[in-house]
Structure formats: C-alpha cells, structure tokens
Amino acid sequence: MAAMIMTGWGRHWGSDWGAGFGGEGRGRGGPGRRGPGGRGRMFGSGELRLALLGLIAEAPRHGYELIKAIEELSGGQYAPSPGVVYPTLSLLTDEGMAEEQAGEGSRKSFSASAAGRAELGDRQEEYDAIIARLKGLAEESERTSAPPLKRAMGNLFHAVKNRMASGDFDRETVHSIAEILDEAARKIERL
C-alpha cells in the first residue's frame, strides 16, 4: 500500500485530479475530444479559427477576452493558449475575415468583417456544434464535479501519507488501514 501511494495514487488524490472526478467520460483523443487527464486537442483543423470568428462576430474582442470567453463557455475546462489565439487572429485579419480596431492601451480588438460574417453564415451549423461542444464540457464538469468528495479524498490521502511519514507504519498498521478502506468501499457500493 505504501508503495502504491508513493508511486502514483497520491498524484490524483487531493490534487486537481487532472480531468476532475469522473473525467474519464470526456472521451478519448481526436478532434473535439479531450483524452485522459484532459489532454488532447479540443479543436479539429480550422475549428478554433471558426470559433474565434463567431465570437468576434458577436462583439469586438481582444485576444485575452477571447481566451476567457472560450474558458467560460467550457466551464473552465478548456482555455486556448495565447500561442494559438493570436496567430489565428492574425490569420483571420490576413484573410480579410477580421478587422483590427483600436482597443484599450496597446491591446487590439478584433471584429468580424463583412466577409467574415458571410463565412460564418455559411458555416453556422458547424459553429453552433463547436459552441455546443464547449458548453457540453461545462455541463459535464458540473455533473461530475464533486468538491466535497475531492476534499474528503484529499484528506484521506494526506492522513495515510502523514501516518506513513510518522515512522510507525508496521504491517499491523497497514492491515488496519486496509480494513478501514475496504469497509468504506463496501459502504459506498451500498449507497
């Protein structure tokens, strides 16, 4: 048991759990799906471009506002990096799909041009599907988020870890802790 805790279990207990409690349900790889631990590509080819185009068609925004908008849509489960957002905004501008506007300080705001709005109109269903996928992440997170459970499991991990560190962790103690955990598992299964 001590070896299991020290070699990996502890990374999941009491931390942010990577994908969150129940995060395995997010899907496995591929565009629009996030793999185990929240890794993987959120957007398929060209989808971030379309998402940003749609968001700047709603209202002029600068890069940080776009990152925050996507993060809010996904319930905090996904936020694109500035390293992909700003080059995509430059691409949209170069293509004539977006126009730069003076913003606050040195920040430039972007809005959709007439050509950008026309493209968005032609691809509205695709844009709606991207937004629905982001909102689906938020809904799934809300369903599977269990802050009290995460806190309790974190407490359990730390209690076992502290007991191990105390130096009084003999075979009898290991068996006693295992009994307590087994009984807790049986009670949870009966819920």
Chain segment 1-48, per-residue pLDDT in tens? 444 444 444 433 333 333 333 333 333 333 444 433 444 578 888 999
In the block, which residue shows the tokens 């996507």? 70
Q: Is 131 helix (H, G, I), strand (E, B) or coil?
A: helix
Q: Bigger pLDDT: 84 or 29?
A: 84
Beta bridge partners, 109, equal 101
pLDDT confidence of residue 1 = 44
In the block, which residue shows the tokens 């003076």? 102
Model confidence at 77, pLDDT cuts 50, 70, 90, reads confident
pLDDT of residue 191 exceeding 50, the answer is yes
Sign of CA dihedral 108, 110, 113, 116: positive
* CATH number for domain 27-144, candidates 3.90.1150.10, 1.10.1060.10, 1.10.10.10, 3.40.1280.10: 1.10.10.10
Q: Are 178 and 186 in contact (CB under 8 A)?
A: no
CA–CA distance, 68 with 84 (Å, rounded to integer): 14
CA–CA distance, 164 with 158 (Å, rounded to integer): 10
Neighbours of 52 (CB within 10 A): 28
Angle at 18 between CA 63 and CA 4, to 5 degrees: 160
CA–CA distance, 138 with 131 (Å, rounded to integer): 11
pLDDT confidence of residue 71 = 94
pLDDT, tens only, 88-140: 999 999 999 999 987 667 788 999 999 999 999 999 999 999 999 999 988 88
Residue ranges per structural domain of the chain? 2-16+147-190, 27-144
Neighbours of 140 (CB within 10 A): 19
Contacts of 176 (CB under 8 A, 6+ apart): none
pLDDT confidence of residue 35 = 39
pLDDT, tens only, 139-175: 887 777 766 777 888 888 888 888 888 877 788 888 8
Say what the pTM is: 0.58
